[in-house]
Structure 1
Amino acid sequence: MMKLLLLLFSGVKFSKLLASGGTMIISVAVYAWIFGWWYAVGFVLLMFVHEMGHYIAARQRGLNVGLPTFIPFLGAWIELKDMPHDAETEAYIGLGGPLAGTVGSILCYFLARNYDSDLLMAVAYSGFFLNLFNMIPLSPFDGGRITAVLTPRIWFVGVPVLLALFYYRPSPMLIIIGLLAWPQLWRAWKYDPEAEENKAYYDMSGEVRFTYAAYYLILLAFLAVMTNDVHELVQAARQVKGI
């Protein structure tokens, strides 16, 4: 009986691994149809690195978490089966993704410079931009999860950013994100810092708030600079080749 249970348990874990890997392969195939195989593989791998940053951070805090699920053009996410017990834990998990994703993008960048690879430079740019995009201080973005350690009301700062992005480059994905953000904004609007449940979740020391604010601003500034600089390198390479 014990052997049978272990076999069934391992089968469940294998099915979850298969499901995660399957959605990853589907995403690669869809992106490859538009951008080519090698770019698609690099882009999806960077998304995987980003999500594994969340995964590792959640496991470090003792939370039960599922493997990443991928949906083309909507990105990827991990399933938190245990919810964070306070805003600091949520911020820690939120920071893990863009931090790991930034490291992966830096690696692509240095490989691109070392091997003079326009393809790797394009992948690096996508990685920097993806992580910068996720730093918008609005839930469900990672930036919203990090900055909530200050106050959920900071999410309203992300609204004009999202609107500006939609004005600059309209996208159905931004509309979907806006719909997902609406309930969070409503929750922030009704937020009462004196409510007992909010005190239990959001009551943090000034040192914790300052630390995460510093992490957020430093990473945001670095990603903004790298996204801009790598974009210029990609554009310059395209002009040289007459693309």
Structure 2
Amino acid sequence: MEEQESLITSEPTEKVYPDKPVEESAAKSLLPSIASALLFIAASYFVFDWSLTNILILAGVVLFHELGHFAAMKIYSYKDVSMFFVPLVGAFVSGTKEQISQKQSIIIILAGPLPGALLGAILYYFGLAYHNDFLLNIAGFMVLINLFNLLPIMPFDGGRFIKSLFFERSELISSIFSYISIGALFYYSITSRSYFLMLVPGFLILQLFAQSQLKKTKEAVVDKGININKSYDELSNEEYWLVRDEIGKHVKAFSKYITPGKYEVSENEQKIIEQVKAVIQKEPIQDLKVGGKILFTVIWILSFIIPFVIIGVSMILTRSL
């Protein structure tokens, strides 16, 4: 009897993990977007030798561009959609979705530069027809900025388009594409003496570094036998805390918040949850076949051609006015 009791007490007890934290939906405020836009305008005014009118036109063109992305994300039911301006660089729209679609991603990417380039070309016609320099100025900004953004270089929309359409499933090719983009941007910044543009490849380098840490975290999580192709709601309590441990080990920015093996909620837990979601993100739905990829590639190419065709026709038509 004593031997039996001894055996029972020596059996290892199963580790109990606390409930995973509840993901909070923070109320979105327009103040950060407005503040970033004002900072963008101020920085542009002091750096560029432009008039305030041109700076405001630039901000308006960037805003129109980003509203295209914003509207497309809303149509496809993205959550927590917000816009933020980056001084001297541009702006971006962010949002989340449990599982994204390749087709939706492509449409969201094109929804920014394509309408802007076409509208700019149309405004160019009216500017010529009515001899309106203000419209011509707006048209020039819209066509130039949006077509430049369609170039196949990361992190511009054209680069994101190419990556999402062809390279998304190959980490190696995707990384090579990013490094080529960094080199091209640095070269252009130096040769054109547009040194402020070095901020863009700088951000891209930081992004690649973050992706490298995320990749190591994912590999460590998979080694623990955890399926990362799932949503946050599908994650068990044990899986959450184990994924959280690996984030603390491999992502430097979170090492000060996370002590592996210590399962207590941090005051920065919502940020940790976002990182956990990045680790276990569901794979994109590959809903574009060869025909769809060819169609979108043709649309992308036409995005460069059609605005210049409209401008050329406008110049011919307005000569007789």
Q: Same fold (TM over 0.5)?
A: yes
Distance 2:99 2:64 in 1: 21
| Structure 1 unaligned spans of 5+ | 1-8, 191-195, 230-243
Determine helix, strand or coil for the equivalent of 1:136: coil
Instruction: Decide whether the 8 Å contact of 1:32 with 1:38 is kept in 2.
Output: no
Change (3 A) 1:164 1:20: same
Distance 1:83 1:53 in 2: 21
Determine helix, strand or coil for the equivalent of 1:76: strand
User: Are 1:24 and 2:47 matched, yes or no?
Assistant: no
User: Are 1:214 and 2:298 matched, yes or no?
Assistant: yes
Q: Which amino acid aligns with 2:138?
A: V
Change (3 A) 1:107 1:141: same
Q: Which amino acid aligns with 1:162?
A: L
User: Are 1:68 and 2:83 matched, yes or no?
Assistant: yes
Percent identity over paired residues: 20
Instruction: Decide whether the 8 Å contact of 2:189 with 2:196 is kept in 1.
Output: no
User: Are 1:138 and 2:183 matched, yes or no?
Assistant: no
Q: CA deviation at 1:39?
A: 1.8
Partner of 1:129: 144
Of the three residues 149, 156, 163, the one matched with 2:177 is 156
Q: TM-score, normalised by structure 1?
A: 0.69
After the TM superposition, which residues 218-233 of structure 1 pair with which residues of structure 2 at under 5 Å, given as runs? 218-222=302-306, 225=308
Q: CA deviation at 1:169?
A: 1.0
Instruction: Decide whether the 8 Å contact of 1:39 with 1:119 is kept in 2.
Output: no
Instruction: Decide whether the 8 Å contact of 1:47 with 1:76 is kept in 2.
Output: yes
Determine helix, strand or coil for the equivalent of 1:150: helix
Distance 1:83 1:74 in 2: 29
Partner of 1:42: 57
User: Are 1:205 and 2:205 matched, yes or no?
Assistant: no
Change (3 A) 1:58 1:170: same
Give the total of aligned pairs.
Answer: 209
Deviation per CA, 1:67-117: give whole Å up to 9, x if none: 321233111111223376233222111111002322442354234224323
Distance 2:167 2:75 in 1: 24
Instruction: Decide whether the 8 Å contact of 1:140 with 1:181 is kept in 2.
Output: yes
Partner of 1:118: 133
- After superposing the two structures, state which structure 1 stretch, 104-113 or 204-213, moved more: 104-113
Determine helix, strand or coil for the equivalent of 2:81: coil
Deviation per CA, 1:32-64: give whole Å up to 9, x if none: 454222222222111111000001111111112
Question: Greater helix share, 1 or 2?
Answer: 1
Distance 1:30 1:112 in 2: 29
Partner of 1:170: 193
Change (3 A) 1:129 1:56: same
Q: CA deviation at 1:122?
A: 2.7
Q: Which has the higher contact order (CA 8 A, sep 6+)?
A: 2
Distance 2:204 2:99 in 1: 19
Instruction: Decide whether the 8 Å contact of 2:88 with 2:196 is kept in 1.
Output: yes
**How well do the aligned residues superpose, as a CA RMSD in angstroms?**
3.6
- After superposing the two structures, state which structure 1 stretch, 197-206 or 103-112, moved more: 197-206
Runs of 4+ that moved beyond 6 A: 196-199
| Structure 2 unaligned spans of 5+ | 1-24, 216-227, 230-281, 313-321
Q: CA deviation at 1:121?
A: 2.0
